[in-house]
Chains A and B, each alone.
Chain A
């Protein structure tokens, strides 16, 4: 199968919400007015680790306009996780809406709701807290030592594998086919590290809790996971699910940060006051008190034979999960499960993973989800091995990467928080992606040209290949409802959460393709827990593959219902009819319009609403593949790296919307380049964040973004809707290794710690001298 007969899918259809957004239509959470809205403000912990001995809110309550002040004494004590994952979540239940202990600088202490933001701020400043400051631990390796402060010493938290040693999650796995490294001609061992990184969605976290006419709590919130928000808020506040409605308006970016359920506190304030309440994080609060990428130290050891066979591979990854274990197990497992299968390992494979509590900001889901950390190590190590055996790094990868029809023992052994599923590669365009990338970057020519440079400014080209998943197999589930209107248009109701990715548009394209109509004939509503059917939400690169599968199935059911009515109208057999151009058409050429079908079903004959709901989940998670190439210039006197060209070739199966797919990849790659060159959260010795602003935490802007070129390499994934696989996350994993490898090619310096600041490049250059 291929995409050439498709009419709507694989076309650069206009993103359906784009014009409204470009015209500033009030589409986001905070763009609507609520009468009597109260403003919430939280008191954050100034200590990395402390017990709240006494908390006095009497002065705060006296501030004019203050309607509620909540402390841990006012709320039910329910251990839960903020990780917006499927139930039961594989993250430890170690979080309380408010607690009598704080575990990092920026942890919640108390919450205020007041008539104005100014009053709320003033009230927060008047809450008196008597802390018993406890010893804090900021580094993962210190946190695991005997005698380290125990961050989760409370008895009621659940599913923490070793609270005494601050282990929030652990997973070990080994395939043993003989003696370790016996066949290897060369053995390598190194560690790579990634610091605290921020998502930097331009819209901060914002939620408005209000009540409907029945007194039900409505959460209008900037979330990637509306259904998980409903469930986890219900759990944390001990209210029934039926009393909560979650509405997801347009979302100003998420990248994983809005897969976190932080809505419990604003909901609690609304319930306490009976008034609508808004909680909007400031940018500083978003940096410190929302979520981050898990900082990681990834040690890898691998053996290689002179002929290019990889004999053994061992990955030991230690993630810093911060004060709470949100996504602690699953990010850690994905750092191995999404990366190790990339290359064939002949004999032995071992993975040792730990996620460790520290008194630092809380890590969570972030685009790439562990694979970013894992591929930095694996792809740099691949380069080192190729260099040692004197093989071109591209040829070495071609020799070893996972091919069509091949599997890996890792797929079965390592899922997300549990055992995975066995699978083989059912589509791959990696070979073509590599070829395209080599052509575009002029690999051979530049490798030759840049060999043996001597001046202070040197250039080099580097490569990295990656894979990711498409949803979590046998975990993620999505559903879609389609109903037909009189004019032959359709409402498409999806639980999938478009957070700016364009998923509303591509789901409409998938349904429109089946129904033989234009994308504009689909009216999409996403996602409202009262209106749309269930979907786990926007994460794990699942929407195109899983939610797309649901949209396709629902459309097929509706098509069947349309054809049944059309068969009566046309006096033909259903099997002889098809949908095309907004009409039901028979083999003989007779036809009727979809509006005639709709009107017949609604008003004239065997009256019924043509509508259907379908659900989809998958037994496999077909990986998209990428080959990335970077051309860099290194000033060996200053240590500054300049990226001259960056080529990213992606096999995402059929791109449902090529323009949007390119955009997804451009954004992922530039985010990855930003990680590579400049991003890192900095902390004082007591764990206080020092650069929690866009001025001090540098993300790339238009002027300092290097040329990035995305190329789609089409393949056909038989398990995906119209051949599609995922696209959104994979691209973020490439820049760290591709640039590191290019820097080595340019000047011989190996970089192991992100970001690659001039100081680190100079230090690495010193080691080569």
Chain B
């Protein structure tokens, strides 16, 4: 059940949002964007590369869609379900996409990678066996200056094969 957004003091709101499967009450500032709110509350995997909606480093999954944290007002996440890179998998228990990026050598500086992986996740959720063109289109909003995208596209292909092959329980 979606509660109303609570104004705790002037210009500060409390929103209720499910972050990585856990229901959280987060204080957000008036006019604050999701990217800044997430980072302020400790989800540092969401990166700030431009703050203008152009680079994709702040991509998170909100209600099943890949969105840019720097363009979504934090209050818009109220009552929603949010996945950040920390929620996809961890070093102890990585998601197949995270493993695929590592194995393909697709992680150089790694700054764009959380956003890139979450865009890939949103893609594979809606199209489990994407073509290369579909992969490139899905990653089009995630700029990378290190890799030339070669190994990242390969990583998504590999992850898709692995996930669709049903060898893993998790999607």
Contact = CB atoms under 8 A, between A and B. Distances in A.
Interface of A: 12, 14-15, 17-28, 30-31, 199-204, 250-253, 255, 280, 282-283, 499-502, 659-660, 662-664, 666-671, 693-695, 699, 701-705, 708, 710
Given A23-B98, A24-B114, A668-B148, 13 more contacts: A17-B107, A19-B99, A19-B102, A21-B113, A202-B109, A203-B111, A499-B109, A670-B147, A671-B148, A694-B54, A694-B55, A702-B135, A708-B150
B148 A500 contact: no
A307 B2 CA distance: 82
A695 B52 contact: yes
Nearest to A201: B145
A663 B162 CA distance: 22
Give the interface centre of B91, B110, B153 by most chain A CB atoms within 10 Å: B110
Interface in B17-56: 43-52, 54-55
Given A253-B145, A694-B143, A667 B50 contact: no
Interface in B66-92: 84-86, 88-91
Nearest to A116: B29
Nearest to B50: A283
Contacts of B136: 702-703, 705
25 contacts: A12-B105, A15-B102, A18-B101, A18-B110, A19-B94, A20-B91, A21-B113, A22-B98, A22-B110, A23-B45, A23-B90, A23-B98, A27-B110, A28-B111, A201-B111, A202-B47, A283-B55, A500-B111, A660-B105, A663-B151, A693-B50, A702-B140, A702-B152, A705-B149, A708-B150
A704 B52 CA distance: 21
A118 B9 CA distance: 18
A694 B139 contact: no
A382 B102 CA distance: 41
B94 A22 contact: yes
Given A12-B105, A660-B105, A204 B148 contact: no
A768 B42 CA distance: 60
A453 B146 CA distance: 37
Interface of B: 43-52, 54-55, 57, 84-86, 88-91, 94, 98-99, 101-103, 105-114, 117, 133, 135-137, 139-153
A660 B88 CA distance: 25
Contacts of B111: 28, 201-203, 252-253, 500
Contacts of B112: 202
A122 to B, nearest CB: 15
B94 A699 contact: no
B150 A24 contact: no
Contact of B137 (A201, A202, A695, A703): A703
B109 A18 contact: no
B145 A702 contact: no
A283 B53 CA distance: 11
A628 to B, nearest CB: 13
Contacts of A280: 48
A204 B58 CA distance: 13
A702 B89 contact: no
A669 B147 CA distance: 9
A26 B106 CA distance: 19
B50 A18 contact: no
Given A201-B109, A663-B108, A670-B148, A701 B143 contact: yes
A22 B57 contact: no
A65 B40 CA distance: 19
Q: Main SS of the interface on chain B?
A: loop
Given A23-B91, A702-B139, A703-B137, A500 B109 contact: yes
A570 B70 CA distance: 63
A663 B45 contact: no
A702 B153 contact: yes
Given A14-B102, A203-B49, A283-B49, A702 B110 contact: no
Contacts of A704: 140
Contacts of B114: 22, 24
Nearest to B46: A24
Given A663-B146, A670-B148, A705-B148, A25 B52 contact: no
A643 to B, nearest CB: 12
A23 B90 CA distance: 5
A205 to B, nearest CB: 12
Contacts of A27: 110
B110 A250 contact: yes
Contacts of A499: 109
B108 to A, nearest CB: 4
Contacts of A702: 135-137, 139-140, 142, 144, 149, 152-153
A631 to B, nearest CB: 17
Given A24-B114, A702-B140, A502 B108 contact: yes
A666 B148 contact: yes
A283 B106 CA distance: 24
B76 to A, nearest CB: 21
Given A203-B47, A663-B147, A21 B110 contact: yes
Contact of A699 (B51, B98, B145): B145
Give the interface centre of B44, B54, B103, B109 by most chain A CB atoms within 10 Å: B109
B110 A26 contact: no
Nearest to B118: A24
Nearest to A117: B36
A662 B140 contact: no
Nearest to A498: B109
A30 B111 CA distance: 12
Contact of B148 (A19, A203, A708): A708
A252 B44 CA distance: 14
Contact of B52 (A202, A250, A252, A694): A694
Contacts of A699: 143, 145
Nearest to A252: B111
A638 B51 CA distance: 34
For the complex of A and B, 3 pairs with smallest distance between CB atoms: A24-B45, A500-B109, A21-B110
B26 to A, nearest CB: 16
Given A31-B44, A701-B143, A693 B151 contact: no
B108 A202 contact: no
B44 A26 contact: yes
A23 B145 contact: no
Contacts of A14: 102-103
A669 B47 CA distance: 25
B106 to A, nearest CB: 8
